[in-house]
């Protein structure tokens, strides 16, 4: 539960609160791009030896 709160707090601070959003759809698109463009592929994971999935895959190839 604490991890989830931390993720959403970071997401709001880094993305949502930094600008005014004209529409809800604009927020949805930005969130999707952030999660799939940075958070999932580039953040470091403890299960991967603190490497990002991208770095882990490049090293394994």
Write down the domain spans for the chain. Answer: 21-61
Residue 34 has pLDDT above 90, yes or no: no
Residue 3 has pLDDT above 80, yes or no: no
Q: Is 0.75 surpassed by the pTM of this model? A: no
pLDDT band at 56 (very low <50, low <70, confident <90, very high): very high
Other residues' Cβ atoms within 10 Å of the Cβ of residue 19 = 10
Average pLDDT of the residues in 1-23: 82
DSSP class of residue 36? I
User: Rounded to the nearest 5°, which phi and psi values hold at 11?
Assistant: -60, -45
Query: What's the confidence (pLDDT) of residue 1?
Result: 67
Query: What's the confidence (pLDDT) of residue 41?
Result: 83
CA 41 to chain centre: 8
Contacts of 39 (CB under 8 A, 6+ apart): 11
């Amino acid at each position: 539960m604490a991890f989830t709160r931390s993720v959403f707090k970071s997401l709001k601070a880094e993305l949502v609160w930094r600008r005014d959003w004209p529409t809800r759809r604009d927020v949805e698109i930005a969130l999707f791009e952030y999660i799939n463009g940075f958070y999932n592929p580039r953040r470091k994971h403890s299960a991967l030896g603190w490497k990002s999935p991208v770095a882990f895959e490049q090293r394994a190839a």
